[in-house]
Structure 1
Amino acid sequence: MKFKLYQLPVNNLKFNLVLMKRFNGYKPFLYNITVNACKFFANPKSSPVAKFFYESVVTFSNINHSCPYNHDIIVDKVPVEFINHRFTQILQFPEGDYLIEAYWYRSGSPIAVAKVYGTLS
């Protein structure tokens, strides 16, 4: 994934993370959290749920620092085995189809939506 940031620097950022599971359509499942991203990146322990998802991609991205962001955001080459381990061994999610939606806001205005679909089997 590559997110092009057109207005730099970014230093007032929030995100809403929604986990959904497929039950005759995608329905909310376990988590729906909103986090001030700049404060979270400075102190990831402030939100354990966001920290779990953050740790799932931080090693494979360039989001490993706090605000401001003066560059595009890249998440690349996340191994399936790594994600599978996190979602089946660390947190034991049941098998099924999942959707993770991340809504991003800058200064209160929506700027992006990222949707990641996956299947645990």
Structure 2
Amino acid sequence: MVFKTTNIVCTGNPKYIENVTCSVKARNWNNAVAYMDCDLVLPLQNTTFHLEFFKKGYNNRYHPFLVNVMIKMCDVMTNRNFLPYGTIAKKIFKEYSNVNHSCPFTGHLMARNISFHESYLPNLPLGIYLFTFDVLENFDNGTTESAGFIHVEFFKKGYNNRYHPFLVNVIIKVCDVMTNRNFLAYGTMVKKIFKEYSNVNHSCPFTVISNSNLILLI
């Protein structure tokens, strides 16, 4: 299996970052490496990464594909989070960048000779993929609306009899799923479960009828 990077695009929020540059350099027919440089205006102290995979379909458009995860990078870098995709990101950062230490991140950030290979990625069917990687600061401290979203996370019990994050950690926009605007695999599964077992089987909005003993979604 050969993974070749063909293009990279970087943008930044001027409040946090400036002088952003990204590029791809071909080494040979089957291999290309990526470069990134930027300067931080403010330190990143509570950083969350949003990683999402897309696969190009027969209509030449990219569609969500299996992976849509939020990674608390400060926890990952200090071994407080062992979500597989976070562990993969940590390995890539340590090997190819100066983002190789615990939070906060300050000053000039750079990445050199980034190359993706089988050991870093899950087994994917042949195709053309788009990976998006959003850096969010203070994501879990901000004011967010939970209505219309479902957070699905899998845990696996380890030999120490404790549960650990396992593969899946996704946020699903239910309103998009119910109106067929989002085809993320886990969203489609949730939609089927809702339609079969609940009255949450239609498009948004969902209204709430409640009394002291009952809350009912309609």
Same fold (TM over 0.5): yes
Using the TM superposition, give the Cα deviation of residue 93 of structure 1 relative to its aligned residue in structure 2, in angstroms: 1.5
Instruction: State which of 96, 118, 125 in structure 2 corresponds to 1:60.
Output: 96
Q: What residue is the counterpart of 1:17 in the other structure?
A: 51
Using the size of structure 2 for normalisation, the TM-score is 0.42
Greater C-alpha Rg: 2
| Residue type of the alignment partner of 1:99 | L
* CA distance in structure 2 between the partners assigned to 1:86 and 1:2 by the alignment: 25
Matched pairs, number: 103
Q: What residue is the counterpart of 1:69 in the other structure?
A: 105
Pair 1:36–1:85, CA change in 2 (3 A)? closer
Instruction: Verify: 1:33 aligned to 2:69, yes or no.
Output: yes
Using the TM superposition, give the Cα deviation of residue 51 of structure 1 relative to its aligned residue in structure 2, in angstroms: 1.6
Instruction: Verify: 1:97 aligned to 2:139, yes or no.
Output: no
Range with greater deviation from structure 2 (66-75 or 49-58) = 49-58
Whether contact under 8 Å (1:57, 1:78) holds in the other structure is no
Structure with bigger helix share is 1
* CA distance in structure 1 between the partners assigned to 2:51 and 2:37 by the alignment: 18
Pair 1:27–1:54, CA change in 2 (3 A)? farther
Higher relative contact order (CA 8 A, sep 6+): 1
Q: Alpha-carbon deviations, 1:47-101, whole Å to 9, x = none? A: 112222432343011111110112222111124xxx23336xx632111111110
Q: Secondary structure of the equivalent of 1:10?
A: coil
5+ long unaligned stretches in structure 2: 1-35, 143-218
**Deviation beyond 3 Å, 4+ runs, structure 1:** none
**CA-atom RMSD, angstroms?**
2.1
* CA distance in structure 1 between the partners assigned to 2:81 and 2:72 by the alignment: 13
Instruction: State which of 32, 39, 48 in structure 2 corresponds to 1:4.
Output: 39
* CA distance in structure 1 between the partners assigned to 2:68 and 2:106 by the alignment: 28
* CA distance in structure 2 between the partners assigned to 1:70 and 1:31 by the alignment: 29
State the percentage of identical aligned residues: 26
Pair 1:86–1:44, CA change in 2 (3 A)? farther
